[in-house]
Amino acid sequence: MLKTFHVKTDHHDQMIDVTNQVQDWIREEGVKDGVVVVQSMHTTAGLTVNENADPDVKTDMLRRFREVYPWDHPEDRHAEGNTAAHMKTSTVGHAQTLLVEDGKLVLGTWQGLYFCEFDGPRSRKFVAKLL
Protein backbone atom coordinates (compact mmCIF):
# COMPACT_ATOMS: atom_id res chain seq x y z
CA MET A 1 0.00 0.00 0.00
CA LEU A 2 1.60 3.22 -1.20
CA LYS A 3 -0.11 6.56 -0.56
CA THR A 4 0.85 9.98 -1.91
CA PHE A 5 0.15 12.98 0.32
CA HIS A 6 0.10 16.56 -0.96
CA VAL A 7 1.30 19.53 1.08
CA LYS A 8 0.98 23.21 0.16
CA THR A 9 3.55 25.31 1.97
CA ASP A 10 3.11 29.03 2.63
CA HIS A 11 6.58 30.09 3.74
CA HIS A 12 10.19 29.75 2.69
CA ASP A 13 11.01 27.66 5.78
CA GLN A 14 8.16 25.82 7.46
CA MET A 15 7.40 22.74 9.55
CA ILE A 16 3.93 21.28 8.99
CA ASP A 17 2.52 18.66 11.34
CA VAL A 18 1.34 15.79 9.13
CA THR A 19 0.82 13.27 11.94
CA ASN A 20 -2.96 13.23 11.66
CA GLN A 21 -2.91 12.82 7.87
CA VAL A 22 -0.76 9.70 8.15
CA GLN A 23 -2.70 8.40 11.16
CA ASP A 24 -6.04 8.85 9.37
CA TRP A 25 -4.73 6.91 6.36
CA ILE A 26 -3.53 4.05 8.58
CA ARG A 27 -6.99 3.91 10.14
CA GLU A 28 -8.66 3.95 6.69
CA GLU A 29 -6.46 1.07 5.55
CA GLY A 30 -7.39 -0.96 8.62
CA VAL A 31 -3.79 -1.80 9.50
CA LYS A 32 -3.48 -2.83 13.13
CA ASP A 33 0.22 -3.64 13.49
CA GLY A 34 3.21 -2.96 11.29
CA VAL A 35 5.55 -0.26 10.09
CA VAL A 36 4.97 2.86 8.03
CA VAL A 37 7.78 4.48 6.08
CA VAL A 38 7.22 8.09 5.01
CA GLN A 39 9.46 9.73 2.43
CA SER A 40 9.71 13.23 0.98
CA MET A 41 9.88 13.33 -2.80
CA HIS A 42 12.08 16.44 -2.80
CA THR A 43 15.73 17.33 -2.22
CA THR A 44 14.84 20.59 -0.45
CA ALA A 45 12.12 19.28 1.88
CA GLY A 46 12.36 16.54 4.47
CA LEU A 47 10.57 14.75 7.29
CA THR A 48 11.33 14.66 10.98
CA VAL A 49 9.79 13.59 14.28
CA ASN A 50 9.83 16.24 16.97
CA GLU A 51 7.77 17.98 19.63
CA ASN A 52 4.24 18.92 18.63
CA ALA A 53 3.06 20.58 21.86
CA ASP A 54 4.97 23.88 21.99
CA PRO A 55 5.03 25.82 18.68
CA ASP A 56 8.17 27.62 19.84
CA VAL A 57 10.13 24.42 19.18
CA LYS A 58 9.40 24.71 15.44
CA THR A 59 10.20 28.43 15.50
CA ASP A 60 13.49 27.83 17.30
CA MET A 61 14.47 24.96 15.03
CA LEU A 62 13.85 26.95 11.86
CA ARG A 63 15.77 29.94 13.28
CA ARG A 64 18.73 27.75 14.24
CA PHE A 65 18.74 26.08 10.81
CA ARG A 66 18.91 29.55 9.23
CA GLU A 67 21.86 30.41 11.49
CA VAL A 68 23.76 27.21 10.68
CA TYR A 69 22.87 27.18 6.97
CA PRO A 70 22.51 30.82 5.81
CA TRP A 71 20.71 31.26 2.52
CA ASP A 72 23.22 33.66 1.01
CA HIS A 73 26.54 32.02 1.89
CA PRO A 74 29.13 33.68 -0.38
CA GLU A 75 30.94 30.43 -1.22
CA ASP A 76 27.88 28.42 -2.33
CA ARG A 77 28.20 27.50 -6.00
CA HIS A 78 24.92 25.72 -6.74
CA ALA A 79 23.33 27.58 -9.67
CA GLU A 80 19.80 27.53 -8.19
CA GLY A 81 21.06 29.30 -5.06
CA ASN A 82 19.33 26.92 -2.65
CA THR A 83 22.28 25.04 -1.19
CA ALA A 84 21.05 25.90 2.31
CA ALA A 85 17.79 24.06 1.61
CA HIS A 86 19.67 20.97 0.48
CA MET A 87 21.82 21.08 3.64
CA LYS A 88 18.78 21.40 5.91
CA THR A 89 17.06 18.48 4.20
CA SER A 90 20.16 16.33 4.58
CA THR A 91 20.25 17.25 8.27
CA VAL A 92 16.63 16.34 9.09
CA GLY A 93 16.51 13.49 6.57
CA HIS A 94 14.23 12.69 3.69
CA ALA A 95 12.36 9.83 5.41
CA GLN A 96 11.10 8.47 8.70
CA THR A 97 10.16 4.96 9.77
CA LEU A 98 7.43 4.66 12.40
CA LEU A 99 5.84 1.72 14.17
CA VAL A 100 2.11 1.03 14.09
CA GLU A 101 0.46 -0.80 16.96
CA ASP A 102 -3.27 -1.29 17.58
CA GLY A 103 -3.96 0.85 14.51
CA LYS A 104 -2.05 3.86 15.84
CA LEU A 105 1.33 5.44 15.20
CA VAL A 106 3.70 4.67 18.04
CA LEU A 107 4.83 8.13 19.13
CA GLY A 108 5.83 9.63 22.44
CA THR A 109 3.51 11.98 24.32
CA TRP A 110 5.00 15.11 22.75
CA GLN A 111 6.01 13.72 19.35
CA GLY A 112 4.60 14.50 15.94
CA LEU A 113 5.62 13.89 12.33
CA TYR A 114 6.61 17.04 10.46
CA PHE A 115 7.00 17.82 6.79
CA CYS A 116 9.86 20.32 6.65
CA GLU A 117 9.85 22.89 3.85
CA PHE A 118 13.19 24.59 3.23
CA ASP A 119 12.70 26.18 -0.21
CA GLY A 120 9.13 27.36 -0.37
CA PRO A 121 6.46 28.24 -0.75
CA ARG A 122 5.63 25.31 -3.01
CA SER A 123 3.27 22.45 -3.69
CA ARG A 124 4.98 19.36 -2.29
CA LYS A 125 4.34 15.69 -1.81
CA PHE A 126 5.47 12.84 0.34
CA VAL A 127 4.68 9.16 0.10
CA ALA A 128 3.99 6.55 2.74
CA LYS A 129 4.21 2.78 2.56
CA LEU A 130 2.62 0.43 5.05
CA LEU A 131 4.41 -2.79 5.82
Cα angle, residue 9 at apex, residues 117 and 19 outer, rounded to 5°: 75
- Backbone dihedral region of 34: left (phi > 0), alpha (psi from -120 to 50 degrees) or beta? left
Q: Which domain holds residue 21?
A: 2-130
Whether omega for the bond prior to residue 70 falls within 30 degrees of 0, making it cis, is no
| pLDDT for residue 98 | 98
- Total-model pTM: 0.95
pLDDT band at 35 (very low <50, low <70, confident <90, very high): very high
Write out pLDDT tens, residues 47-106. Answer: 999 999 999 999 999 999 999 999 988 888 887 879 999 999 999 999 999 999 999 999
Q: pLDDT band at 112, cuts 50/70/90?
A: very high
Q: Domain tally for the chain?
A: 1
SS3 per-residue string spanning 58-106: HHHHHHHHHHHCCCCCCCCCCCCCCHHHHHHHHHHCCEEEEEEECCEEC
Residue 74: CATH number of its domain: 2.60.120.460
Query: Do residues 129 and 24 touch, judged by C-beta distance below 8 A?
Result: no
At 78 the pLDDT is: 85
